[in-house]
Amino acid sequence: MNQFVYKRAETKEELQQILNLQDVNAKPSLSNETLKTEGFVSVKHSFDVLKRMNDACPHVIVTHKGNVIGYALCMLNAFRNDVPALIPMFDYMDRIIASKNLSNLHYLIMGQICIDKEYRRQGIFKKLYYFFKDELESDFDAVITEVNSKNTRSSEAHRAVGFNLLDAHTEAGEDWELIIWKWL
């Protein structure tokens, strides 16, 4: 029987397992075919940044037999300068939020979401996001993230959960979708 446990990250071991899963699914680590069919993560975090983010707002994880097999990173605006690759996203997001009169929205950034390849197509992505919402909706009105347009698997999965397109743009030669899931 598959026993999946959805919870908030608590230990250094869980954080290290998040980084291990991130490494395996990072864009440079994958073949072109895998990039198209399985998706990818665009950013790799340092342990220090991941831990500080977790201390401020614990990440959401799913474990199987004690091992992290999926994660959804909670990223507060306070960490906008701690991951240099994400600074353009934050700057762009600020402009779009202001232009759409969403400045009063109290939102959280989905720092990244990933499910271990061996556990995909079992509904874990959707259940992880619903657990994420259940855990955080009392403190936030919405979650915002950005998905690489080439990552069609991720884009479709986010839409299936309830995300809507805020805007699309090109940054450093890559096309991106800025998406939001409002919880109000």
Decide if pLDDT at 27 tops 80: no
Q: Per residue in 142-173, pLDDT tens?
A: 999 999 888 888 899 999 999 999 999 998 88
Average pLDDT, the chain: 90
Rounded Cα distance, 161 and 157, in Å: 6
> What domains sit in the chain, N to C, each tagged with a CATH number?
4-182 (3.40.630.30)
Per-residue pLDDT reduced to its tens digit, 36-95: 656 667 678 899 999 999 999 999 999 999 999 999 999 999 999 999 988 988 999 999
The sign one gets for the Cα dihedral 151, 154, 155, 156 is: positive
CA distance 26 to 15: 16
